[in-house]
Amino acid sequence: MAGSDITVEAVAPPDTVKILIAGGFGVGKTTMVGSVSEIAPLRTEEPLTAAGLGIDDLDGIEQKRATTVALDFGRITISRELVLYLFGTPGQQRFWFMWNDLAIGALGAVVLVDVRRPESSFAAIDFFERREIPFVVGVNGFFGEHPYPAEEIRDSLALPEGVQVLLCDARERESCKDVLIALIDQLIAQARKAG
Amino acid sequence: MSALAREVGGDDTAGRLVRPFTLTGGRTKPSRTDFTLITTVTAVDPPPERAPRPQPEQTRILRRCARPIAVAELAAHLDLPVSVVAIMLCDLLEAGLITVHPPHPVTPRTPDLDLLQKVRDGLGRL
């Protein structure tokens, strides 16, 4: 059977899944994507016109800059049949309408928190809670420092039960890998409970 | 169209200066919703005999998807918005020049334990 049909493609397309890396502006989302991605993070820019704003806003480059929203992402090949994409969500609140599309079909999310300004990630936590998208919180210690224990951060963020808080360093591959594994473990535990 | 194609087909920085939706004839929405960020597309090789001759910018896309590639990656490499690439991919699909592979379906209500385990194992191997 196999190989008898010459029109069969030599390379079968892999199944794809995605995880979102969210959090406030400048919290280290793209850094995290870059730390675990097998490719240098890629960027695609979407004009806000795609969401129904005036197309004429695209006149001139300066204005174009102001009317696009950038999406950084990376890739992890799990196997020949399965590829995981990591999308860093746009940080600015006004681009949230982009998130709905992004969130559809995501396995789950990592919400990065900067302990120096945790409030910048409140909105992201709220977003995933409301949509019942599973997430873990990664506390990105800048310069690798973690002044507060995970429990204290959990309390201050008023996280729902079952959401893990992990101290991490977005610059470190192993650290980011651990956060992603914690998310998947959480999803597996939830799946077992449900099933 | 040819002047535009030259501009777009040049180096990647040139593409940024072109108003992207001129490539789609002013359309801002694809005619179908097959193309998510992680939908995989592959050029049909050899192209069907009766397929219309692709436009230069379409040729650029087809070259990029000689092997399976996700829509988001394609857009990043072409330096075009995903929404523009999706519309162009619609045309290519309708012309029979590409095949489309949808993402693995993920439904929060009925999690796929087998899939999650595969992802878990893969991350563990990193």
The whole-model pTM stands at 0.84
**What was the pLDDT predicted at B40?**
96
Average pLDDT, chain A: 84
The alpha carbon torsion through A154, A158, A161, A164 (nearest 10 deg) reads -30
Helix B56-64 crosses helix B82-94 at what angle (to 10 degrees)? 90
Whether residue B126 has pLDDT greater than 60? yes
Chain B contact for A189 (CB, 8 A cutoff): no
Helix (H) or strand (E) holding B21: none
Which letter does DSSP use for residue B97 in this model? Answer: -
- Assign 3-class secondary structure to chain B: CHHHHHHHHCCHHHHCCCCHHHHHCCCCCCCCCCCCCCCEEEECCCCCCCCCCCCHHHHHHHHHCCCCEEHHHHHHHHCCCHHHHHHHHHHHHHCCCEEEECCCCCCCCCCCHHHHHHHHHHHHHC
Taking the C-alpha atoms of residue A25 and residue A123, their distance in angstroms, rounded to an integer, is 11
ipTM of predicted assembly, 2 dp: 0.84
pLDDT of residue B18: 56
State pLDDT tens for residues A117-129. Answer: 888 899 899 999 9
The residue extents of the domains of chain A are: 15-194
Establish whether the linkage from the previous residue to B46 is cis, with ω within 30° of 0. yes
To the nearest whole number, what is the mean pLDDT of chain B?
A: 82
A70 touches B: beta carbon within 8 Å: no
Q: Is the pLDDT of residue A45 over 60?
A: yes
Q: Which residues of B touch A87 (CB under 8 A)?
A: 37, 72
- Give residue for tokens 């990065």: A112
* CA dist., res. B30 & res. B35, Å (int): 9
More confident residue, B120 or A119: B120
Structure tokens at A136: 């873990």
Q: What's the pLDDT band for B66 if we cut at 50, 70, 90?
A: very high
Amino acid identity at B86: A
Higher pLDDT, A64 or B93: B93
Give pLDDT tens digits for B1-21: 444 444 444 444 444 455 666
> What distance in Å separates the CA atoms of residue B31 and residue A126, rounded to the nearest whole number?
33
Judge contact between A72 and A89, C-beta under 8 A: no
CB–CB of A181 and B120 under 8 A?
Answer: yes
Count of other CB atoms within 10 angstroms of residue B25: 8
The pLDDT of residue A96 is 72
Distance of CA A129 to the CA centre of its chain: 15
- Show residues of chain B in contact with A13, CB under 8 Å: 40, 42, 68, 99, 101
**Is residue A54 pLDDT above 90, yes or no?**
no
Strands A68-79 and A42-47: antiparallel
Note whether B126 contacts A11, CB cutoff 8 Å: no
| Spatial separation of the C-alpha atoms in residues A42 and B79, rounded to whole Å | 10
Give the phi and the psi of residue A61 in degrees, each rounded to 5: -70, -40
Rounded to an integer, the average pLDDT of A14-40 is: 95
- Most A CBs within 10 Å: which of B23, B123, B125, as the mutation test of the A interface? B123
Confidence of residue B31 (pLDDT cuts 50, 70, 90): low
Q: Output the pLDDT for position B20.
A: 66
Helices (H) and strands (E) in chain A, counts: 6, 7
DSSP H or E run through A148: none
User: What's the topology of domain A15-194?
Assistant: Rossmann fold (3.40.50)
Is some CB atom of chain B closer than 8 A to the CB atom of A43? yes
A-B interface: how many C-beta pairs under 8 angstroms? 147
Mutate to test the interface with A, among B17, B106, B119 (most CBs of A within 10 A): B119
Assign B52 a pLDDT band (cuts: 50, 70, 90). Answer: confident
- Cα separation of B5 and B7, whole Å? 5
Cβ atoms of A176 and A32 closer than 8 Å = yes
To test the contact with chain B by mutation, choose from A11, A16, A62 the residue with the greatest count of B C-beta atoms within 10 A, namely A16
Q: Is the pLDDT of residue A17 over 80?
A: yes
- Average pLDDT on B44-63 reads 90
pLDDT confidence of residue A174: 97
CB interface of A with B, residues 93-122, below 8 Å = 101-102, 104-107
Domain ranges of chain B: 2-125
- The full DSSP string for A65-130 is HHTEEEEEEEEEEEETTEEEEEEEPP-SGGGTHHHHHHHTT-SEEEEEEETTSGGGGHHHHHHHHH
CB A108 within 8 A of CB B106: no
Work out the pLDDT band at A10, boundaries 50, 70, 90: low
Q: What pLDDT is stored for residue B4 in this prediction?
A: 42
Minimal CA separation from B14 to chain A, in Å = 12
